[in-house]
Amino acid sequence: MANNDTKIGAALTAATCGLLGIAPSTSVASDAAPAWDVDSAFLYYGESDGRVQDLSLSAHATRDFGDERTLGLDVSVDSLTGASPNGAIASDGPQTFTSPSGRKTYDTPAGDIPLDESFLDTRFAVNGNWSQPLARLYTISAGLGFSSEYDYQHIGANVGLTRDFNQRNTTLSFALAYANDTIKPVGGLPLPLAQMGDAVGEDQSPANRAGDSDSKNVLDVLLGVTQVLGRHSVLRVNLSYSDSSGYLTDPYKILSVVDPVTGEPIARTPAPGTSGPVNVYLFENRPDSRRKEALYAELRHDFSGKVLQVGYRYSTDDWDVDSHTLESRLRLPFGESSYLEPHVRYYQQTAASFYRYSLANLAPAPEFASADARLSDMSAVTVGLKYGRETAGGNEWNARLEFYQQKAKAPGEFLIGNQVGNTQMPDFNAVILQFGYHFKL
């Protein structure tokens, strides 16, 4: 029997050199450590006129465990400051509002769109996702997410299944997501379409509030097809359905009540010894369910290294908000390891059926009403440019600068008296600056 302890290595190396006619080189092999692949980013988002500013730090990390099993983790921290429109219309006179807490007031000069300055928030979010093959051609994924703000908690779960067909040139995917969000507004939940009251002391409850918190549930269903079209093109088409139910109202948004003839705000007088609004404002109220359907189509084409991506999204919902989004990116590699990527996006939507610029005094009260510009007839344009550069170690730096412009208009049928030809919508511009670093750990 052969002696297992006899080392043959040196003699074998010599024999191999004799055969291959080359000096022995080295072998460097090791078990692959499952490595983290991290996309990190620092983002600044700033709206014009001192409105919302967001500083955000985020990281998306994936770890490959081999055998197509991957773990994805997302962490982000956002710090939001600035002012946001409260929904009231601009007026010829100065306006006073009670802050969301119900304990202070703030003023808006004559002619200005009223902004709530008390907007300040820190948001923390984490998401985890696991993906693995289920059987030949099938991949399953599942994830959990959580985010927290001082007045808002979100918890969500999702599952997805993909199936490859046609020699993996066609992929069908199906995904389900469910979320439960809890909102606990500062100062409590306003009663629907109740009047904004005077500021109250620390020992008193703000007027017209109905409890501390409420919740909403969101179910999302997605059905998608990805089709490889030849060597250079990929087409993706998604159909999605989203069902939200529960508290969908923005507790901080109000509407101005106006004279049904002139369209000017109706004045009121704060109670003696208190400060409070000098006009009549009602808290908004939205339906407690929203069903949305969307179609998304995206084509990517590789023009010998230059990759063009064009996407279109159509969305419609039972609030009558129909939207069209057209978006395109073009990746232009240059030099040894750099690229430029211009980006354009156009968005347009119709107003929600209950959107109002203001509410007429003495008219029958609508069941639902909101003056939130995000539910108005509006459009937005984004143009941007991204620059990326790969380092020698295979990592990548990138920087992105984008400009965003949003324009809304109040549909004519909602305008009253002097408002016609005199509307002021809370339009704004924003700048987005992002620095990203992609690396492996």
Partner 1 sequence: MGGPCEVLVETEHEHEARQVAEAVCAAAARIESKYSRYLPDNIVARINSGMGAPTTVDDETANLLDFAAQVHQLSEGLFDITSGVLRRAWTFDGSGRVPRPEDIAALLPMVGWSKARWVRPTLTLLPGMQIDFGGIAKEYAVDQAAQAAASVSASAVLVNFGGDLAVTRARHGDQAWRVGIEGIDAHEGAAARLVDLSAGALATSGDTYRYIKSGGHRLPHILDPRSGWPVSDAPRTVTVAAPSCTQAGTLSTLAMLKGAGAEAFLESEGVRFWIQRDPAGS
CB half-sphere exposure, 63, CA atoms < 13 A? 13
Quick check: 15 binds partner 1 (CB under 8 A)? yes
Quick check: 5 binds partner 1 (CB under 8 A)? yes
Segment contacting partner 1 by CB under 8 A, of 12-20, 81-89, 146-154, 352-360: 12-20
Q: Which of 18, 211, 230, 273 binds partner 1 (CB under 8 A)?
A: 18
Q: How many CB atoms lie within 10 A of CB 206?
A: 20
Q: How many CB atoms lie within 10 A of CB 164?
A: 16
Quick check: 441 binds partner 1 (CB under 8 A)? no
Q: How many CB atoms lie within 10 A of CB 76?
A: 17
Segment contacting partner 1 by CB under 8 A, of 21-29, 154-162, 224-232, 278-286: 21-29
In angstroms, give the least distance from the CB of 21 to partner 1: 8
Contacts (CB under 8 A) with partner 1, residues 102-121: none
Quick check: 22 binds partner 1 (CB under 8 A)? yes
DSSP character at residue 266: P
Q: Which of 61, 57, 111, 106 is nearest to 84 (CA)?
A: 106
x/- mask, partner 1, residues 382-421, rule CB under 8 A, reads ---------xxxx---------------------------
Quick check: 166 binds partner 1 (CB under 8 A)? no
Q: Which residues contact 26 (CB under 8 A, 6 or more apart)?
A: none
Quick check: 335 binds partner 1 (CB under 8 A)? no
Quick check: 27 binds partner 1 (CB under 8 A)? yes
Quick check: 12 binds partner 1 (CB under 8 A)? yes
Instruction: Choose between 122 and 169: whose C-beta lies nearer to partner 1.
Output: 169
Q: Which of 136, 166, 335, 362 binds partner 1 (CB under 8 A)?
A: 136
Supply 102's token pair: 């119900």
In angstroms, give the least distance from the CB of 137 to partner 1: 9
Cα 441 to Cα 36, 40, 60, 73, 393, distances in angstroms: 5, 12, 13, 14, 12
User: Distance between CA 151 and CA 102 in Å, rounded?
Assistant: 15
Quick check: 4 binds partner 1 (CB under 8 A)? yes
Quick check: 20 binds partner 1 (CB under 8 A)? yes
Cα 162 to Cα 61, 131, 299, distances in angstroms: 22, 10, 19
Quick check: 67 binds partner 1 (CB under 8 A)? yes
x/- mask, partner 1, residues 182-201, rule CB under 8 A, reads --------------------
Q: Which of 50, 94, 111, 133 binds partner 1 (CB under 8 A)?
A: 133
User: Distance between CA 49 and CA 91 in Å, rounded?
Assistant: 18
In terms of phi and psi (left: phi > 0; alpha: psi -120 to 50; beta: otherwise), the region of 286 is: beta
User: Distance between CA 157 and CA 143 in Å, rounded?
Assistant: 6
Instruction: Choose between 366 and 394: whose C-beta lies nearer to partner 1.
Output: 394
Measured in residues, the chain has a length of 441
* 317 within 8 A of 350, measured Cβ to Cβ: no
Q: Which amino acid is at 125?
A: A
Quick check: 366 binds partner 1 (CB under 8 A)? no
Quick check: 271 binds partner 1 (CB under 8 A)? no
Residues contacting partner 1: total by CB under 8 A = 39
Instruction: Choose between 66 and 211: whose C-beta lies nearer to partner 1.
Output: 66
User: Distance between CA 383 and CA 399 in Å, rounded?
Assistant: 14
In angstroms, give the least distance from the CB of 335 to partner 1: 11
Interacting residues toward partner 1 by CB under 8 A: 1-5, 7-9, 11-13, 15-16, 18-22, 24-34, 66-68, 133, 135-136, 391-394
